Structure 1
């Protein structure tokens, strides 16, 4: 609990904010789209700019023309100090530069797909986003800090992806720059990531809390909450406490501290929007897949044609066991077939969990495929993570959320 309190206090760190809005909205909302080229999800800002959702990004990253002048964030400002403090742990420390205009703040971005770092000017500008308030259908917020990166850094991103929206538990994250004193939103955001690559199937992202209207129901009633925990070495990452994994209601046999941080603060269970399938350290993966294979011994296996290791022959009555994650606060996150099995062809369906090797940074990384078509709320103000079961169980999908008036 002390760690949780420290995280919450950290998020109230002072940094330069300019200009508050009259008639402030209670929340902001946008449609989420799944990209068919890379395993990423985007939402729209400034009417037509698509931003990759990164829950481990410490700040906003935006494509810029490097030859154009931009506002300077002074090196001795609180915003610049914070940008350096939350430098991505995968990257070297950033060095500010001295120019004729004075000391210009620099920051670093981490591109999660090619796993490369790039530094450039930290600056600020205006952004706009939609609301569900008919009297104020959109709102502009001024002087949000962001990292300006020239185009080559994001060259492999699909066309139309303009930048990266960092949503990590850090003071300069996009969600946190929308809270007081700049805007009056609560310290939380919610995601529902669509599970179908059909461009007509959309999801939703909310800043500032609910209601999250799923057809005529506020989906907050569907959420279970578990605590968020802090890792001082990886402050850009959301971690949850995992105690056990069960297959068909049978706990797999693992040491009690399997999912804990080690003495170097490696290990733990992280949430990621840059990892497609949930990844398990080799010792966990071995025991988990042995239990899964035993529970599916009556289903014909087929040779895998993908990166996924265990594949089965799809049949009309194809049924696989449920997978339960036992989290802190006696909460269970259950994955049914829609989030545990990936259909790769009409005749082949594969287990959508992968081997992370013997010495990964985390013991478990819960990835995008297991998050799809569920509602997730990151209530950083209260240091808790809310999650629903698959919306398919109530004959709904992320596309049923209200994102337009």
Structure 2
């Protein structure tokens, strides 16, 4: 069960935007999805890896973090309670973010979900700012004071895209960014967000916080736009809370902050930060993948390219990717999410593509993980107030 957003400590903003946005880009080297969020006073943009299921936002504060509006999280304070602090730590080093007071500071443990490494971190608060939007064009920056995040050390910033200094946590909990924004801007700001991941480094993706419309330019005619939220093919399914944490380190009884939906058989989670481009992680102990998928496909199998096992030549292309049989996830009430070649096959080279499925291992945390490659060029709206997920088919 979610803590009510009115409990959030982020201070309310004087302005009342209906929606905010953050741009997303795809790093070509790591295939991670990155964004930039403005922190502190004076405002400094920080490059962060997008973590859809992250419990909270964390950044490396060890060097170069200077802000006149920074506040440490004092043990026993309301922000520490809201973040479900893991304990307290005495500030013994020289004054710096995370160590600016003689009082004990509460500890929350940030996780690098790329490497699955969990490290020590301290709760912090500072001003952040994001761009407002009416859904079709950007507006002025809006700020939130006392945004709760974790100050981590540079030991946690491993295997990130160049320049990235932390992770943007969009998880389903009181200190996830969507909940803090909804609390800060009041009842007129809807407790929801929508995300569209870019498939190519030179194209733009976006995260919308708050209400629609979501206006996109058409690929073949930039002068024409379409409100994706009004598409008749926008489908809905219920979001579920997993009562068992899927984080790398958790307390007994802690719920997962990741997003789960229920198909006709098992639970699926949506988590682009954990598996960046690596496709669908599939528990072969519970599922078998039907080789009939390729039975009528006249392409040659080639040597596997790690981490994938099923790789093929691919010569026939369509606007929806290489020409392969379509896949579909079927959720409750027969709601179907169709997946075409652009999202089912991972391009290794011009002529080689691999099926974007991975062996989940003998003891996976969930039976199926839907990877970021399947989400690219699709719009997904997470309505936390109504506990439902809306999604399009590919916008290509």
In which range does the TM-score fall when normalised by the shorter chain? 0.7 to 0.9
Query: Residue 232 of structure 1: which of 240, 243, 267 is its match?
Result: 243
The match for 2:72 is 72
In 2: Cα distance, 1:66 partner to 1:96 partner? 22
Alignment of 1:34 with 2:38, yes or no, is no
Alignment of 1:218 with 2:227, yes or no, is yes
The verdict on how the C-alpha distance between 1:300 and 1:159 changes in structure 2, with shifts beyond 3 A counting, is closer
In 2: Cα distance, 1:193 partner to 1:325 partner? 19
Q: TM-score, normalised by structure 2?
A: 0.82
User: Which deviations, in whole Å up to 9, do the C-alpha atoms of 1:93-149 show, x marking residues without a partner?
Assistant: x33123472221111001112211111220100111112268951112111011011
In 2: Cα distance, 1:379 partner to 1:17 partner? 20
The match for 1:332 is 336
Cα offset, 1:153, TM superposition: 1.6
User: Which deviations, in whole Å up to 9, do the C-alpha atoms of 1:10-44 show, x marking residues without a partner?
Assistant: 343624343x2223111111221001222321122
Alignment of 1:143 with 2:140, yes or no, is no
SS at the partner of 1:325?
Answer: strand
The match for 2:313 is 313
In 2: Cα distance, 1:135 partner to 1:187 partner? 20
The match for 2:262 is 241
Contact 2:171 2:258 in 1 (8 A): yes
Structure 2 segments unaligned to the other structure (5+ residues)? 39-43, 92-100, 218-224, 246-255
**Higher mean C-alpha deviation, range 40-49 or range 322-331:** 40-49
In 1: Cα distance, 2:323 partner to 2:158 partner? 41
The verdict on how the C-alpha distance between 1:301 and 1:17 changes in structure 2, with shifts beyond 3 A counting, is closer
Contact 1:339 1:369 in 2 (8 A): yes
In 2: Cα distance, 1:345 partner to 1:39 partner? 15
Contact 1:13 1:171 in 2 (8 A): no
User: Which deviations, in whole Å up to 9, do the C-alpha atoms of 1:28-72 show, x marking residues without a partner?
Assistant: 112210012223211222263222111111111122136979522
Alignment of 1:372 with 2:376, yes or no, is yes
SS at the partner of 2:5?
Answer: coil
Higher normalized helix content (fraction of residues)? 1
Query: Residue 57 of structure 1: which of 48, 54, 59 is its match?
Result: 54
Contact 2:212 2:229 in 1 (8 A): yes
In 1: Cα distance, 2:170 partner to 2:333 partner? 24
In 2: Cα distance, 1:371 partner to 1:68 partner? 33
In 2: Cα distance, 1:301 partner to 1:153 partner? 39
The match for 1:45 is 37
Structure 1 segments unaligned to the other structure (5+ residues)? 1-5, 86-93, 244-256, 260-267, 393-405
The verdict on how the C-alpha distance between 1:155 and 1:341 changes in structure 2, with shifts beyond 3 A counting, is closer
Cα offset, 1:289, TM superposition: 3.8
Contact 2:5 2:180 in 1 (8 A): no
Contact 1:43 1:205 in 2 (8 A): no
SS at the partner of 1:105?
Answer: strand
The match for 1:383 is 387
Q: Superposed, which structure 2 residues align to 1:194-213 within 5 Å? A: 194-197=198-201, 200-213=202-215
Query: Residue 342 of structure 1: which of 343, 346, 365 is its match?
Result: 346
In 1: Cα distance, 2:160 partner to 2:196 partner? 22
